A and B are shown apart, each in its own frame.
Chain A
Amino acid sequence: MSDRVALVTGASRGIGRAIAVHLAADGNAVAVNYRTRSDAADEVVATILAAGGRAVAIAADVGDADAVAGLMDEIGETLGPVSILVNNAGITDDNLLLRMKPESWDRVIQVNLSSAYLCTRAVLRTMLKARWGRIISVTSVSGLSGNPGQANYAAAKAGLVGLAKSVAKEVGSRGITVNAVAPGFIETDMTNQLGDAVREAALPAIAVGRFGTPEEVASAVGYLASDAAGYITGQVLVVDGGLAF
């Protein structure tokens, strides 16, 4: 059992849930952050506790600076200072750019990218003191290659890469690594919304011939969060089954 505390944002379902469960299984205490799905978040905590781990569910809209400050205070009081941050919270609001309203653009940028800035800034203080930290942002193949109908999402996700590379250079000397994981098509609520036609068109482009599982993304995050990955920073680890996008 490590004495480290991990925060996973947007961890009530999908990839975030799998990351929370995986980090807890690795011996970390996990703060399961969610915005509205409290029942789902409680289920994630129950799963972790049943497996002998430690976790608490904490609600916060991580796109909001005050909410992030409150979130960090509460984690500090219940679990301790955060040494592993996983910026996973993300939403889509798809449309062609020509039709995309400013609110739709702003909200996706706020929840997907600005939240990572807010959370990263908040945890660096304690990570600097501890001279150890792991910051991992969940980007997307969409952010790396672009995707029609997802200019806002892709821009935000690509932004996470620039953020990771810059902060990695700022804090690397203090034992803090900052990386990104880029999932491809993963079986979650987000991709279940894609119609059959889209899924069937995507499969031939995936070398391993199937969608990935949330646990396969969680494994990549778990590795980057470990001591063993201390010489990896400013990198994007792509988990997409060999997708020719």
Chain B
Amino acid sequence: MDRAEVEAKMTDLLVEELGLDRDKITMSATFDEDLEVDSLGVVELLMALEDNFGVTIPDEEAEAIGTVGQAVDVVMEKIGG
């Protein structure tokens, strides 16, 4: 899966799992301020990423994720892309 596919899937998950507005989702958008996702929401997103991409994201790496793009980075690294 290439980066464009992961970004597209990430955006779909954010819309479907967290009910976010598709127009607001950019790679530089921050979860807490731009997208107003609470801390539980980020945990839920990570669980959805793990299930959808078949990866495991350890807590230490998860805590460093602040933007949509950073979440994509972590997934790309885990799937070996």
Q: Which residues of A contact B (CB under 8 A)?
A: 125, 128-129, 170-171, 173-174
Contacts and interface: CB of A to CB of B under 8 A. Distances in A.
Interface residues of B, number: 4
B21 interface: no
Nearest to A172: B40
Contact of B47 (A125, A170, A171, A173): A125
B16 interface: no
Nearest to B39: A170
Nearest to B50: A125
Contacts of B43: 128
Nearest to A170: B40
Contacts of A125: 47
A173 B43 CA distance: 14
Contacts of A173: 40
A174 B40 contact: yes
B63 interface: no
Q: Which 8 A-B pairs have the closest CB atoms?
A: A128-B44, A125-B47, A170-B40, A171-B40, A128-B47, A129-B47, A174-B40, A173-B40
B78 to A, nearest CB: 18
Contacts of A170: 40
B81 to A, nearest CB: 26
A116 to B, nearest CB: 19
Contacts of A128: 40, 43-44, 47
B37 to A, nearest CB: 12
Nearest to A129: B47
12 contacts: A125-B47, A128-B40, A128-B43, A128-B44, A128-B47, A129-B44, A129-B47, A170-B40, A171-B40, A173-B40, A174-B40, A174-B44
